Structure 1
């Protein structure tokens, strides 16, 4: 998978999950905000590591 496709998919998943969480909160379902923040941060750092791996492959 190229970095552009990975970025589009990760942004879409993050946005979709935040939309679903907002729907849950609208209907009164409690959501653990800390768990959401941890998951989004892990996704962000995973994306950064993937991008660094792809960039290293370009320069080797």
Structure 2
């Protein structure tokens, strides 16, 4: 997967997830915001590492 496609897919996944979470919150489901922040930071680190791996394969 090239970096451009990877960026589009990851941005869509983040956006879709946040829309789903906000819809659940509006429906009355209790959302643990601390856990949500931890998960989002973990996903962000994973995405950055995957992107760096793709870039290293592209330039090395």
- Please give the range of the TM-score, normalised by the shorter of the 2 chains: 0.7 to 0.9
Do the aligned partners of 1:10 and 1:43 also contact (CA within 8 Å) in 2? no
* Number of residue pairs matched by the alignment: 60
The one of the two structures with greater contact order (alpha-carbon pairs below 8 A, sep at least 6) is 2
Tell me the TM-score normalised to structure 1 length.
0.80
List gaps (5 residues or longer) in structure 1. Answer: none
3-state SS, counterpart of residue 36 of structure 2 = helix
For 2:40, the equivalent position in structure 1 comes to 40
- Note the 1:1-60 alignment, pairs <5 A: 1-60=1-60
Q: How big is the shift at 1:59?
A: 2.9
Q: CA RMSD in A?
A: 1.4
Q: Distance in 1 between matches of 2:22 and 2:14?
A: 12
